[in-house]
Amino acid sequence: MTEETSDNEQEPTTSTEQTKKPPKRGIIYLSTIPPYMNVSKIREFFSEYGTVGRIYLQLADKDVPEKGKVKKKRRVAHKFTEGWVEFERKSVAKKVAAFLNSTQVSGRKKSKQYDHMWNIKYLSNFKWTHLHERLAYEKAARRQKLRAEIGLAKKKSNFFTANIDKGKKKKSSVNREYENLEQKSEMDTADTETVDDRKEFLQSLFD
């Protein structure tokens, strides 16, 4: 006897009818940012190769203006030291890194990026959350270092204030106390600083 299929029975769905999983994203690392490049220009440039998601560019340390000099208000282009670019597809990110790495940024001689080369690395198994965690860690380390420096400045100020009226003390004794204070402050600061931690993080991206 042959079995008859009921009209109420549903046929199994094919793989094409099932919900497709979103493609895995890929991130590339830019170890240098060409001059006069910002987030919008980076997005415009890399969008020619595929859909670009999130972009983060690390700002360079701003120059401290000299005392007594008043700078005129003008629009100054920000300088960036490094960057991360996320592509919607991992395969596109790999191809972009392989294709553009060690190539000229611009072929036009009059371009400000003519003498600059792309230095791009595809970050395998690297997610955007890893970058957020790293930036949060560095921000907390900078705050801790700043607090240590402020504490050192207060200790020095209190030291000189306490000894300013002590003329009977020998100069050598005062110097020894100051040296001991310097050594102690250096040890305290060393605990808060991440020695070569930044270099190790960047080196791990290329391992």
Q: What is the pLDDT of residue 15?
A: 52
Q: What is the pLDDT of residue 88?
A: 95
List pLDDT tens digits, range 148-177: 888 777 777 777 777 665 655 555 555 666
- Specify whether the CB–CB gap between 104 and 97 falls below 8 A: no
- Specify whether the CB–CB gap between 64 and 36 falls below 8 A: no
How much is the pTM? 0.61
List pLDDT tens digits, range 79-116: 899 999 999 999 999 999 999 999 999 888 888 888 89
- Specify whether the CB–CB gap between 26 and 95 falls below 8 A: no
